[in-house]
Structure 1
Amino acid sequence: MRRVLGVAAAVVALCGAVTVPASASSPEASPPARLTSAPTVTEAPGTLVLPYVVVTGNDLLHTWWAELAVRANGGTVVSSYPQVGVVVAYSPRDGFAPAVRKVPGITAVGATRTAKIPVDWFAARKDVRYTGPGSPNSGQVPPEGTAWDVPALGVDKAHEVTTGSKRVTVGVLDTGVDDTHPDLAGAFDRRDSVSCLSGWADRGAGAWRPTLDGHGTHVAGTIAAARDGKGVVGIAPGVKLAAVKLAELDDTETPESMVCGFVWAADHGFSVTNNSYRSIPWRYTCSNQIDQAAIKLAVGRAVAYAQRRNVLVVASAGNAGIDLDQRSSDAESPADSTPAPRPIDTDCIRLPHELPGVIGAGAVDEKLLKASFSNYSASRVTVGAPGVRIWSTWPGGLFRSASGTSMSSPHAAGVAALIASAHPFLRGDRLGRALTAQATPLPCPELYDPNGDGKPDAVCAPSPTGNTFYGAGLPNAAAAVR
């Protein structure tokens, strides 16, 4: 009660004490912004603004208060998430963040870019259609079910028990999914699909579809492509697929899109989310920098909220080929402007992969050896799954082969979806524990030398979950559904 009264008093103080700049919106006594409506953009097209996450208490009153603080200091509210105490906003004012940080009860404020973007970014998209690259090798797709990754996981044997249940929804948080693809259309759920591209939930027709990159469509096929005798077959073709579009291009997912996406997944009852990406602007997000600390807090709250709602979050472990426990530098940030080398430590994390409770998937090749590009770790790699030369769906009814931990993560997510289908009482953390408990252990190689020069390219070591290359091992679909 004291906390609520304190917030109410602060709102009154805010309304009476803050000077509103002439260009700012006047404070309004209105409920938090809806998650399904576009923000009201009053600036001229092309006006440059910075997006922000504003973090406060996770309830309606605190969120309303944060909205008032945004508007009173020359910002525009894009969307509000009282479930996690995060307001997404933008402002053209350089002094916006320092001013809002001074408001009592605001926990953190962080810019989610290092360079301003046109305000047009926050408008609703219309006439979404794919204009990205096609597939140079679509005609070479192997017969359904014969690609190496399917037998490696025991998928055929698992499908004798279940191909998945429509009670289970897997959310593909990615670059969008082509729901018109013949191998995906039967599994796709348009009602639970959305675009979170700009930090608000755009439910417009087809907003979830890809425009520039087929990455999300490829991921979706690995999870749930139809077993129809044509094309490819997914790990769990009987489950439902929902697309949550976070980016136009792979690896450009933003903090505000992730907050929107995880809250959406939680509130729409997803069983599993697949997250095959790394975020911008910071490839590793650090707590000792004021903007990054706010980003880490906002995204961390959204992921934790999803986990509390029994969503299993599965993510790719990354393609730098490094030991994540020994990292010391980052030369790829900020990814939205001019990257420059900077020192980092293990407190600087890949979002969302390294947040607590996230299943991290490393990649293995046809010989079940760690892919040379796959990151490894004693604590941040949960399983190792197929991630080399993986055939899957591509926009426009095509198929394509691709490699990366982006491909290994949906294999793990697909097996988790089969477990959830066969054992409906296993949800959230329990589902994750079942995934690792049924995994087939993969031993450390005596000499890891993929380039054949006689010298070790990485060193595998025991870890609390198994070892640093493969975690608990290879997900076993056949064992998981028994």
Structure 2
Amino acid sequence: MRRIILATALMLGLIATPAAADPLVMPHVVVTHHTGWAELVIRKAGGTVVASYPQIGVVVAYTAKDDFAAKLRKTPGIDAVGATRTAKIPKEFFAPREDLRYTGPNSPNSGQVPPEGTAWDVPALHLPEAHQVTDGSKRTVVGVLDVGVDDTHPDLEPAFDRKDSVSCLSGRPDRGPGAWRPTLDGHGTHVAGTIAAARNGSGVVGVAPGVRIAAVKLAELDDTETAESMVCGFVWAAEHGFAVASNSYRSIPWRYNCDDQPDQAAAKLAVGRAVAYAQRRNVLVVASAGNAGINLDTRSVDKESPADSTPVERRIDPTCTRLPHELPGVVGTGALDEKLVKASFSNYSASRISVAAPGARVWSTWPNGEYRSASGTSMAAPHASGVAALIASEHPHWSAERIKRALFATATPLSCPDTTCAPTKEGTTYYGHGMVDAARAVGAG
């Protein structure tokens, strides 16, 4: 059986150290209204088609040729072309994977996990009251779009849906056995536990322990997701009946994608089409709002891009987009600490924060049957996803838009704790509509 086929850096596609005979290539997204025609043009220009998504007019391809994008941009019928890296990667990156095994770090605090139901986020979201009404329904599937999920974890195995799990690392759905599993990072396993860890008297308990979890693996390490993996992931979510897609990451190579840069504009357009398609297919898309502790409405500098080579400081403005959090209709989630105030690291905004949820020192599952505490808006988004999943379970015929309205309407308003925070039409710049509330969401509060 195949094992991990590349060393860590090669699987990430971040460091170009191939075997002598292994050519380096640059992945691209090609946006068009005629994918069949685009595939012919791509091949003629020296590219190899990885995956084609006629549903949204996006083709994923790679090439060794440096003039590939320039040629395609001159071709009628091609709307946008963008390289999804700034450094070429080995062609072997696009090979199928299966039978993956976790080789990343162990939990630093697995032995200290508090007894089930006693971690601070449980009473904060009124989970005991909500669970008297429902644990969630097995009809409801929540997609964890992340770095993979350990489906063998005892707190996750009862909820895990292998049939609807997949790896999208290359931009093509890879359904190889175990291709969705993590290898280097337990981040996705932690997210999954917050959503649906079993209520079984041990370990931790998820917000919606009765729902199903499907893993959609987009990267090997947190915050290294690419445009092609997101396109693949959101189309997969759309076509496999997910009620909620939980996203706790930011993309590479550009942390913010600006419309005046052709590669970034193409990535934004391609991912935007995929997210919109998922939303039309009634997938509620939830995403973390980021951990820079900044006002997203006034940002002006990016010092972290390109994240796959050597970052340089560049000027940006609020129209440059964090993917996928800032795309239309996405439920941007900020983080709260134990005092139910904005965590110091959590970004804020008058328009880009929809709700808030626990995100500091959150206990959840970790690969190999372990547990750990972690902080970040990555931990807040799955809390919101779990509450949305409870609503979807109680109202299986509701649209994603109606579920979102209910999530907002049942959130607990929080007042501004300082002068940096400001009121908005919906609530505040720190918390959006407020803190998600599981009990109120299912009519128990």
The aligned amino acid for 2:431 is Y
Give 1:88 shift.
0.1
**TM-superposition CA deviations, 1:20-64 (whole Å, max 9, x none):** xxxxxxxxxxxxxxxxxxxxxxx985210000000001xxxx111
Alignment-derived partner of residue 50 in structure 1: 26
For this pair of structures, how many residues does the alignment match? 425
Which of 414, 417, 422 aligns to 1:461? It is 422
* Helix, strand or coil at the partner of 2:169: coil
1: CA distance, partners of 2:43 / 2:389: 43
CA distance in 1, matches of 2:283, 2:424: 26
Which one of the candidate residues 91, 94, 103 is aligned to 1:119?
91
CA contact (8 A) 1:168 1:417 kept: yes
* Per-residue deviation, 1:425: 2.7
Distance, in Å, in 1 between the alignment partners of 2:436 and 2:108 is: 30
1:155 & 1:240 partners in 2: Cα distance? 18
TM-score scaled to structure 2, two decimals? Answer: 0.95
In the other structure, the counterpart of 2:57 is 85
Q: 1:110 is matched with which residue?
A: 82
For residues 350 and 324 of structure 1, the distance between their equivalents in structure 2, rounded to whole angstroms, comes to: 10
Corresponding position of 1:392: 364
Deviation digits for residues 270-316 of structure 1 (CA, Å, limit 9, x no counterpart)? 00000000000000001111111111100000000000000000000
Q: Which runs of no fewer than 5 residues in structure 2 stay unpaired?
A: 1-18
Question: Within 1, Cα distance between the matches of 2:298 and 2:397?
Answer: 38
Give the equivalent residue in structure 1 for 2:387: 415
1:312 paired with 2:284, answer yes
TM-score of the two chains, using structure 1 as the length reference? 0.87
Partner of 2:220: 248
CA contact (8 A) 1:244 1:261 kept: yes
Q: Distance in 1 between matches of 2:320 and 2:278?
A: 22
Backbone CA RMSD of aligned residues = 1.0
2:273 is the alignment partner of 1:301: yes
Work out whether 1:271 is the aligned partner of 2:232: no
| 1:66 equivalent in alignment to 2:27 | no
The equivalences for 1:244-393 within 5 A come to 244-393=216-365
Consecutive unaligned residues in structure 1, runs of 5 or more:
1-42, 448-458
Residue aligned with 1:401, SS:
strand
CA contact (8 A) 1:135 1:400 kept: yes
Check 1:414–1:94 CA distance in 2 against 1; reply closer, same or farther (3 A cut): same
Distance 1:327 1:45 in 2: 44
- Given the alignment of the two structures, is residue 470 of structure 1 paired with residue 442 of structure 2, yes or no? no
Give the superposition deviation at 1:125: 1.4
User: Aligned-pair distance for 1:465?
Assistant: 1.4
Conserved? CA contact 1:45–1:118, under 8 Å: no
Moved over 4 A (4+): none
Secondary structure of 2:158's partner?
coil
- 2:143 is matched by which residue type in structure 1? G
Cα deviation digits, residues 413-446 of structure 1 (max 9, x gap):
0000001111223221111111000000010014
List per-residue Cα deviations over 1:214-262 (Å, max 9, x = no partner).
0000000000000000000000000010000000000000000000000
SS of the residue 2:363 aligns to: strand
Query: Of the candidates 96, 102, 113, which is equivalent to residue 68 of structure 2?
Result: 96
Please tell me whether Structure 1 or Structure 2 has the larger radius of gyration of its CA atoms.
1
SS in 1 for 2:321: coil
Q: CA deviation at 1:101?
A: 1.3
